[in-house]
Structure 1
Amino acid sequence: MSNHQSKRKLMAMMLSVIMGVSLMPALASAEASTLPVDTRGELIAFETLEKDIEVQNVPFGTSEANLNLPDALTVTVRLEEALSDSDIVNESTTDVDEAHDTIRNAGAPSENKEESSPAEGEEEDTTVKDEMETATSNDEEEYSSAEDNEDDTTVKDEMETATSNDEEEYSPSEKEDKNTNSAEEITVSLPVTWYATPKYNSEASGTYVFTPNFSEGITVARGVEMPTISVTVGVATILAFDALPDDIRWQNTTSPVFPEALGGTTEDDDVQISVTWEADHDYDADYPVKGLYVFTAVLDEGYIVADGIELPRITVYIPQTAGRRMALMSRMAGGGTTDSPLEITTPAQLAEIAQLVNAGRLEAFLFNNSIDTIYLELKNDLNLFDYGASFHDGKGWTPIGTQANPFKGYFDGNGNKIEGLYIDDTSLSNAGLFGSVKGGMVQNLILTDANVRGSKEIGGIAGRIEDATIKNCGITGSVRGNENIGGIVGGIFENGTVEHCYTTGSVISTNNNAGGIAGNLNTATSIVRNCYSTSLLVRSFSGVFDGDGHIIKGLYINSPSSNNCGLFGHVNYGTVINLG
């Protein structure tokens, strides 16, 4: 019995050594890999490329090695299972059976035993083998063949138990890492190569599109768009454009004209640049619909513009719908009259209104005379992000109307919002969304996330109003300047009225007169009524307000015609901070 037990113990020990050695290389290999060994999968997401990588413009002679092509991309991979659980069990069982057969065969007589001789270094193995043969021989004498079969089954069970014990030395989480579930998704950095369409040629102008190529076994999931890099060779930088003639720049016609080339200046020469024109909203050249359109030049792919250079624009007013749709759509987009206001639907349209007003030609452009009153209507929310800190050399939005050429029409916001008004020009007076309004009205408009900074007469809605009304308007954001700074209006002059308005945010004056609603009521006919402000008011000087006025409910005013409003100093719903 003792010999039989020794045999079983010896075989179990040998199996443990065999299994331990066989597992070590596989584990080491898995830990050293970015993805599990032999794992296959599909790409389901890509990290977004930076803009300066996604689109590149390079001069002639730039080699492919000098392009900004990443060596690796961060991706999300849905892994496929390399080995199923049943495969692992079957392979383990096969290994056990093979080991079992090896050990059993080691105890069987060799057919060529007399011809074989142990090699050098095999004495210890031969001794073990002899002992096992002796044990086998002794067992055969003690037990019947049936009992031997029972013992073999017991040995096999013990060997499988030993295999199980070896596997249990690794935690379940490690086992999961080695045998990746088919539903698992991981984010990794994968090496890539890039190939171009057409084949890249640094001496041939044109645009080359580079697409990534991944290692074998990695595919892209259906419906997932691979990142691409667009490289344009032979690009010239435009430093300036020739001015368009007025009859091209501003067109009131059903048949606008668009030049096919523009004059410009590059670093080396004066050039003619092939262009097309892109409208700010839907435009049917065959049957144009009545309304205002702003077209921006699209340059030939061999050119780019220098920082701070604006692309040329053409503003077209279609006075009536042309062609077969005239009867159906004749009133679309409006005509600028009280019964049919001109509809504003894009930021570009509003920006062009500013250009026309400031040039003193809005009325003439629309009506071919300068005395009619313009009616404008905002049809939807707008954002002015394209006219922010990167526009106009960092100065941002151009206010609608100047003191010399004020806005004289009616603007109805229809309760819509304009987001992201940005002005940063400390030399500018009469600044806001509107610069100067005279003889007109702005109503039903909300500004959000406004950031306005100027010099004198600075407001959110308007810098200065005279014989004009601002009503049912609101603003959230910051308004800053040197003097006469108001959340709604900077300066209210003769017969100017602000009513039913509110502000929240901050109003800051570095010198004089900061008001939640208005910076300064300049005349006895300046009126503010039924307004409120929760804006934080800051004026960076010490002392009391100058001028002839008095304090009512903590409010500084130059006129008794104010009530229920936060104007200057301490407002009903806000705070004043005296600095300096």
Structure 2
Amino acid sequence: MRQNLGSEFVLTANLDETTAGYDDVANATANGGKGFLPLGNSSTPFTGTFEGSNQSIEELYINRSTDETVGLFGVVDGAVKNITLENVDVYGKGSDRLAPTTGGTGSLVGIVQSSGVVANVDTDGQVGGEFAIGGLVGLSDGDVRASTASVTVDGDREVGGLIGHNDGTLRNASASGAVTGNGETGGLVGHVPVGTVENSYATGEVNGGFYAGGLVGWINNGGEVTRSYATGNVSGDSSGVGGVGGLVGKNIGVVNESYAVGNVSGESDVGGLVGDNTDTVTDSYWDINTTGQSISDGGIGLTTDQLKANTSLAGFDFTNTWDVLESGPDGAVSYPFLRNTTQVPAPGRETTP
């Protein structure tokens, strides 16, 4: 496979420590302790198709602290789909601070280039690094969809539960792992400079410095988040820089039809929905009870009961996009959830019908 990066491949069986030769290339003793050597790099990306056939790869180990493109695949400009990564342990440098789009570290892919596609991939474990670090993908300029990450992610800047730096399209995705960073840290995506995030959610706890958000740390002036939500707690130290929010830490792009309910705490520029906003926030809400915040730089604050009652959410499409779970005479007992990216149990679920 390594010698034919433009070909089509189909995984026909699970790969784990019982697979002949697997430990020689993918465990903690392989390659002098560096573990697996990623497939493809910036000069020779993977341009073929990898069909996982709903099989799994277990116990993938990578420890390449000086390498910029780290993951099962280093760089992808083809397609990777229908695979599960279980109990990964991946560490890579990620992008260079002076050239922030040159690298990335993720469990599956370091960099997804503009023609790259990642679809129907699930991953769990832990990922760490410095710049552009994500639970699934480090940096994406392509199309990532219908994928989930339950990964503990730890990095410095541009750190996200699913993607560290997103200049592409992210849709129908979710992340549930705890995320820790020093800047541009989000439960789903760390930084969205010019990309889009839609029909997605994050439930993991976020502990960031500046620009920390339950869903996205920083949306830049070409970025957009729509039809998405975050339920995880968010804490950050935004003193002197700004931006800690239940959904987005810093927004100079577009936020639409979204909400946040996790507890939010920080030093300054703290908001239930958005910490620091200089652009557009429409039809978006936060729970003033659960976030512990009565203010936000954009959005509308509602009580828990109001946010669980869909008639209060002007702008939300409950015919095609959103739904709630109801039980008996008390009405709605869940927050809105996405029909095409369903969270189980539903967000805010209190009882079982």
TM-score by length of 1: 0.35
Answer whether contact 2:135 2:152 (CA < 8 A) is retained: no
Contact 2:194–2:223 (CA under 8 A) maintained in structure 1: yes
Report the Cα offset of residue 437 of structure 1: 1.2
Once residues 442 and 255 of structure 1 are traced to their aligned partners in structure 2, the CA distance between those partners, rounded to angstroms, is 24
Residue 346 (structure 1) shift: 2.6
Q: Is the counterpart of residue 460 in structure 1 residue 177 in structure 2?
A: no
Per the alignment, residue 343 of structure 1 pairs with 81
Query: What is the CA distance between 1:400 and its match in structure 2?
Result: 2.9
Q: Does 1:315 align with 2:35?
A: no
Give 1:519 shift: 0.2
Partner residue in 2 for 1:527 = 254
- Percent identity, please: 18
**Residue 351 of structure 1 contacts residue 398 of structure 1 at CA under 8 Å; is this kept in 2?**
no
Considering only aligned residues, what root-mean-square deviation do their CA atoms show, in Å?
A: 5.0
Measured against aligned partners, the alpha-carbon deviations of 1:14-51 in whole angstroms (never above 9, x if no partner) come to: xxxxxxxxxxxxxxxxxxxxxxxxxxxxxxxxxxxxxx
Contact 1:533 1:572 in 2 (8 A): no
Higher strand share: 2
Question: Could you tell me whether the CA contact under 8 Å between 2:193 and 2:220 is conserved in 1?
Answer: yes
Alpha-carbon shift at residue 576 of structure 1 (Å): 3.1
**Structure 1 residue 304: deviation in Å?**
7.8
Q: Give secondary structure in 2 for the equivalent of 1:430.
A: strand
Residue of structure 2 equivalent to 1:129: none
Whether the 8 Å contact between 1:296 and 1:312 is mirrored in structure 2 is no
What CA distance in whole angstroms lies between the structure 2 residues aligned with 1:545 and 1:314?
40
> Residue 209 of structure 2 aligns to which amino acid in structure 1?
N
SS of 2:158's partner is coil
**CA shift at 1:513, angstroms?**
1.9
The superposition leaves residues 247-283 of structure 1 with CA deviations (integer Å, 9 ceiling, x where unpaired) of: x967415599xxxxxxxxxxxxxxxxxxxxxx98639
Q: Is the 8 A contact 2:248 2:275 kept in 1?
A: no
Given that 1:249 and 1:314 are in contact with CA atoms closer than 8 Å, whether structure 2 keeps it comes out as: no
Q: Residue 407 of structure 1 aligns to which amino acid in structure 2?
A: S
1:504 CA drift (Å): 1.0
CA contact (8 A) 1:471 1:498 kept: yes
2:177 counterpart of 1:424: no
Aligned to 2:145: 412
Sort the Cα spacing of 1:466 and 1:281 in 2 relative to 1 into closer, same or farther, 3 A: farther
Among 194, 203, 213, the alignment partner of 1:486 is 213
Separation in 2 of the partners of 1:351 and 1:318?
25
Residue 564 of structure 1 corresponds to 283
Question: Contact conserved, 2:218 with 2:249, CA < 8 A, in 1?
Answer: yes
Q: Is the 8 A contact 2:255 2:281 kept in 1?
A: yes
* Structure (1 or 2) with the larger CA radius of gyration: 1
> Residue 232 of structure 2 is aligned with which of 496, 505, 508?
505
Once the two structures are superposed, the pairs formed by residues 88-103 of structure 1 within 5 Å of their partners are: none
CA contact (8 A) 1:297 1:312 kept: no
Q: Give the one of 112, 116, 134 matched to 1:374.
A: 116
Question: Structure 1 residues 577, 560: closer, same or farther in 2, change over 3 A?
Answer: closer
Cα deviation, residue 563, structure 1? 2.4
CA distance in 1, matches of 2:36, 2:153: 22
2:246 aligns with: 516
Assess if the C-alpha contact under 8 Å between 1:554 and 1:572 holds in 2. no
**Residue number in structure 1 paired with 2:342:** none
Structure 1, residues 208-236: CA drift from partner, whole Å, max 9, x if none? xxxxxxxxxxxxxxxxxxxxxxxxxxxxx
In the alignment, what sits opposite 1:298?
A: 23
Q: Which residue of 2 aligns with 1:443?
A: 171
Matched, 1:252 2:5: yes
Letter in 2 for 1:298: D
How far apart are residue 371 of structure 1 and its match?
7.7
Say which SS state the counterpart of residue 531 (structure 1) adopts: strand
Greater helix percent: which structure? 1
Deviation by residue 1:384-425 (Cα, 9 ceiling, x = unmatched): 12x36xx779xx966733xxxx41101111xx5422x21234
Partners of 2:13 and 2:230 lie apart in 1 by: 35
Q: Which runs of 5+ in 1 are unaligned?
A: 1-247, 257-278, 285-294, 322-328, 363-369
In the alignment, the residues of structure 2 paired with residue 374 and residue 464 of structure 1 have an alpha-carbon distance, to the nearest angstrom, of 19
- Confirm or deny: 8 A CA contact 2:245 2:274 kept in the other structure: no
Contact 1:437 1:464 in 2 (8 A): yes
Query: What is the alpha-carbon distance in structure 2 between the residues aligned to residue 490 and residue 554 of structure 1?
Result: 12
Q: 1:467, 1:378 → 2: CA distance? A: 23
Answer yes or no: is the 8 Å Cα contact 1:455–1:481 preserved in 2. yes
SS in 2 for 1:575: coil
Report the number of matched residues. Answer: 246
CA separation of 1:559 and 1:529: change in aligned 2, threshold 3 A: same
Give yes or no for contact 2:229–2:258 (8 Å, CA) kept in 1: yes
Q: Which residue of 1 aligns with 2:137?
A: 400
Determine if contact 2:191/2:219 at 8 Å carries over to the other structure: yes
Matches of 1:457 and 1:372, distance apart in 2: 22
Q: 1:318 to 1:351 in 2, by over 3 A?
A: farther
C-alpha contact (below 8 Å) 2:159/2:184 kept by paired residues: yes
Query: How far 1:528 moved relative to its partner?
Result: 0.6
The alpha-carbon distance between structure 1 residues 359 and 345, as it changes in their structure 2 partners (threshold 3 A), is farther
Q: TM-score of the superposition, structure 2-length normalised?
A: 0.54
Mapped contact 1:475–1:503 kept (Cα < 8 A): yes
Segments of structure 2 that go 5 or more residues without pairing to the other structure are: 41-45, 56-75, 96-100, 106-111, 296-353
Q: In 2, distance between residues paired with 1:500 and 1:373?
A: 25
Contact map agreement 2:247 2:273 (CA 8 A) in 1: no
Q: Deviations over 1:407-446 (max 9, x none)?
A: 1101111xx5422x21234xx10111211112x1111012
